[in-house]
């Protein structure tokens, strides 16, 4: 490798998940940043290593084979910056999703205002709210103290008091928090993140500075009707970073490579979705990101510059999988199965997968279960997140979700499904989008990496998003309305770039795939019938849209919203098989 090939800043991104560790290399090729390769290894946070450094080195070793570049010196440390012989890299970023959820106590004045905002902030990262303290609970200080001690928190988030508003009431509420921190041994004291009335910052500093790590963030509830979580999320990421440095052996070494900028994977993923949201602001639609991991599922939705980020640590396809059973019944999961599988078999798979999260499905039955679980996980996580979507987001007459353009899907269960039709089936069944939506896959699992590198090298992020790193799966058209099965509800006319045309009548209850080769553009004219809504301004409104062909062309989902599934199991399974066949899935 010649010296000139590394004259621009090369960037290494390392992501340590609960199952896999990935090392991704970006560098300049023909005057533009490109994704050059990836090395993957099993994460070594647990037995027998108990040190994530070993998994990082293994991933870098695999990347070295692919790229021909040496990354580690004789001391097993990353070579920074790159050397004249081509070894090393100029910059390194890293993200972590491995580790237990932080135990959080949320403190706020009013139960459904500032206390709720404190909880909303907590769920933007890998955390679980164990206790909520507010003025409405009417517990005595001693009872609140006991509640905090029982929760054994890693973090206490304090909100409350609009700017220039209540002060003494909040300080009185913090008395139990201060006592709990005081009686705990120093090594077990939680961090405290204050995101309330900024007039109290000095008082909070003087009261808590010696009681544990203290972080100050802008007020997340500056007015009763205003919630602003984004400014506080950077401080929350620092809290998580500090916790992981204490909890995970090897994290300190990784943090040094990044210059102290190790960040949670979910925060980096949300940053990328927000970046895309700014680019698509002109569409007046939201941008949706879904990342299904082994330990948690992250939902990020951007509406122009407004980001809604929720992390669901009890909803993952690995060790946290049994948590799905607290949010869904076995029957709700089984409704997505195209095969006849007993609930006992389904339950056994869930608990075995939790014990062996790195295991892969090896039979068609296991693959069907895995996809059904992913579908239910996404749907549960999305419904929980949707409560925080802005009320003024542009919605269809269906009303459950805003319009999205595009939808970005990440996570190996989605990106590495044997057939792309299976991926699309999971996403369509779980999300049930309305209107016209492009669905793209984070095929190289770099969405979080691009978010992490954005602050260091925004040009890399821009150029990587504009390249082919995200695979265009298809454009989906989903008319919304009510009709009898088999009733024509939409006339679709596709005008291809060469002037040829194709017209299709869509019937209610059907799923149709229209050929549109990858990369080719077409104008699609939509004429809804029976006052169906296709996102052209209201029920019955016609319109046209320009689309680009993806891996599955153009898909029209006329099955209805919310998606009706037959109650009779045999009929439901036959219907699921038919839909999969329509999307090109062969058994």
Q: Which helix H or strand E contains 241, and what residues bound it?
A: helix 230-247
Between 394 and 323, the higher pLDDT residue: 323
Q: What pLDDT was estimated at residue 316?
A: 94
Number of separate helices (H) and strands (E) present in the chain: 16, 22
Q: What pLDDT was estimated at residue 284?
A: 82
Q: Considering the entire predicted model, what is its pTM?
A: 0.92
Round to whole Å and give the CA distance between 18 and 21: 8
- The 10s digit of each residue's pLDDT in 247-275 is 999 999 999 999 999 999 999 999 999 99
Task: Please report which confidence band the pLDDT of residue 121 belongs to, taking 50, 70 and 90 as the band edges.
Answer: very high
Task: Please report which confidence band the pLDDT of residue 291 belongs to, taking 50, 70 and 90 as the band edges.
Answer: very high
Provide the β-strand partners of residue 98: none
Q: What pLDDT was estimated at residue 188?
A: 87
Residue owning tokens 């491995």: 98
The whole-number average pLDDT for the span 473-490 is 95
Lowest mean pLDDT among 137-151, 409-423, 495-509: 137-151
Please check the confidence at residue 74 and state whether its pLDDT lies above 50: yes
Task: Please report which confidence band the pLDDT of residue 71 belongs to, taking 50, 70 and 90 as the band edges.
Answer: very high
DSSP 100: P
Please check the confidence at residue 566 and state whether its pLDDT lies above 80: yes
Please check the confidence at residue 360 and state whether its pLDDT lies above 60: yes
- The 10s digit of each residue's pLDDT in 178-223 is 888 888 888 888 999 999 888 888 888 888 888 888 999 999 998 8
Secondary structure (3-state) at 49? coil
Q: What pLDDT was estimated at residue 397?
A: 67
Q: What pLDDT was estimated at residue 135?
A: 83
Give, to the nearest 10 degrees, the angle between helix 420-431 and helix 364-386: 30
Q: What six digits make up the tokens of 180?
A: 């709990």
Estimate to the nearest angstrom the gap between the alpha carbon of 582 and the chain centroid. 28
- The 10s digit of each residue's pLDDT in 390-410 is 888 877 766 668 899 999 999
Round to whole Å and give the CA distance between 392 and 407: 19
Could you tell me what percent of the chain has a pLDDT over 70? 97
Mean pLDDT for the chain overall: 91
Please check the confidence at residue 555 and state whether its pLDDT lies above 60: yes
The whole-number average pLDDT for the span 273-283 is 86
Round to whole Å and give the CA distance between 283 and 393: 12
- Smallest CA-to-CA distance from 374 within 289, 292, 473, 266 is with 292
Q: What pLDDT was estimated at residue 399?
A: 64
Please check the confidence at residue 425 and state whether its pLDDT lies above 70: yes
Lowest mean pLDDT among 145-149, 233-237, 311-315, 415-419: 145-149
Please check the confidence at residue 414 and state whether its pLDDT lies above 50: yes
Round to whole Å and give the CA distance between 227 and 237: 18
The whole-number average pLDDT for the span 83-94 is 92
Please check the confidence at residue 7 and state whether its pLDDT lies above 50: no
Q: Which helix H or strand E contains 409, and what residues bound it?
A: strand 404-410
Q: What pLDDT was estimated at residue 466?
A: 74
Q: What pLDDT was estimated at residue 171?
A: 82
The whole-number average pLDDT for the span 6-34 is 87
Q: Is the peptide bond before 81 cis (omega within 30 degrees of 0)?
A: yes
Q: What pLDDT was estimated at residue 166?
A: 61
**CA triplet 436, 418, 509: central angle to 5 degrees?**
40
Q: What pLDDT was estimated at residue 4?
A: 35
Please check the confidence at residue 6 and state whether its pLDDT lies above 80: no
Q: What pLDDT was estimated at residue 206?
A: 86
Q: What pLDDT was estimated at residue 8?
A: 63
Please check the confidence at residue 165 and state whether its pLDDT lies above 60: yes
Q: What pLDDT was estimated at residue 384?
A: 94
The whole-number average pLDDT for the span 484-500 is 93
Q: What is the CA radius of gyration of the chain?
A: 25
């Amino acid at each position: 490798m010649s010296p000139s090939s590394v004259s621009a800043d090369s960037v290494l991104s390392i992501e340590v998940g609960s199952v896999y560790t990935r090392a991704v290399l970006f560098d300049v090729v023909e005057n533009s940043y490109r994704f050059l390769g990836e090395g993957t290894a099993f994460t070594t946070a647990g037995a027998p290593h108990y040190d994530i450094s070993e998994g990082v080195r293994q991933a870098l070793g695999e990347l070295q084979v692919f790229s021909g570049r040496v990354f580690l010196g004789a001391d097993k440390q990353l070579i920074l910056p790159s050397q004249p012989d081509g070894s090393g890299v100029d910059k390194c970023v890293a993200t972590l999703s491995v580790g237990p959820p932080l135990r959080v106590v949320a403190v706020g004045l009013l139960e459904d205002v500032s206390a709720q905002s404190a909880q909303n902030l907590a769920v933007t990262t890998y955390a679980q709210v164990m206790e909520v303290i507010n003025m409405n609970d009417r517990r005595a200080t001693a009872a609140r103290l006991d509640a905090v001690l029982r929760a054994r928190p890693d973090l206490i988030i304090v909100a409350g008091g609009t700017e220039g508003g209540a002060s003494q009431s909040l300080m009185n509420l913090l008395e139990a928090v201060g006592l709990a921190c005081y009686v705990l041994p120093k090594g077990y004291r939680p961090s405290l993140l204050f995101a309330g009335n900024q007039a109290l910052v000095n008082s909070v500093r003087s009261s808590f500075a010696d009681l544990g790590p203290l972080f100050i963030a802008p007020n997340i509830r500056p007015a009763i009707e205003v919630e602003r979580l984004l400014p506080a999320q950077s401080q929350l990421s620092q809290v998580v970073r500090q916790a992981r440095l204490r909890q995970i052996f090897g994290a300190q070494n990784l943090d040094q490579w990044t210059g102290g900028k190790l960040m949670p994977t979910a925060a980096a993923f949300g940053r990328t979705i927000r970046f895309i949201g700014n680019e698509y602001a002109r569409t007046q639609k939201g941008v949706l990101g879904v990342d299904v991991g082994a330990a948690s599922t992250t939902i990020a939705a951007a509406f122009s510059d407004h980001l809604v980020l929720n992390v669901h640590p009890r909803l993952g396809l690995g060790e946290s999988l049994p948590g799905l059973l607290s949010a869904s019944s076995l029957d709700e999961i089984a409704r997505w199965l195209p095969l006849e599988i007993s609930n006992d078999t389904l339950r056994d798979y869930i608990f075995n997968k939790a014990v062996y999260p790195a295991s892969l499905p090896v039979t068609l039955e296991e693959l069907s279960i895995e996809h059904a679980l992913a579908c239910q996980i996404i749907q549960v996580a999305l419904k929980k997140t949707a409560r925080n979507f802005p009320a003024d987001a542009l919605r269809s007459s269906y009303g459950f979700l805003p319009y999205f353009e595009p939808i970005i899907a990440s996570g190996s269960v989605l990106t590495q499904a044997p057939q792309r039709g299976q991926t699309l089936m999971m996403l369509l069944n779980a999300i049930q989008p309305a209107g016209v939506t492009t669905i793209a896959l984070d095929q190289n699992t770099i969405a979080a990496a691009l978010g992490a590198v954005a602050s260091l090298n925004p040009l890399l992020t821009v150029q990587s998003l504009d390249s082919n790193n995200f695979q265009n799966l298809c454009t989906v058209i989903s008319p919304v309305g009510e009709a009898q099965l088999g009733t024509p509800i939409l006339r679709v006319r596709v005008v291809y770039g060469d002037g040829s045309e194709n017209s299709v009548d869509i019937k209610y209850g059907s799923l149709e795939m229209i050929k549109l080769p990858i990369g080719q553009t077409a104008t699609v004219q939509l004429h809804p019938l029976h006052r169906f809504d296709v996102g052209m301004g209201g029920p019955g409104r016609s319109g046209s849209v320009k689309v680009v062909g993806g891996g599955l062309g153009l898909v029209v989902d006329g099955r209805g919203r919310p998606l009706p599934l037959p109650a009779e199991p045999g009929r439901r399974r036959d219907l699921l098989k038919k839909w999969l066949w329509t999307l090109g899935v062969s058994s």
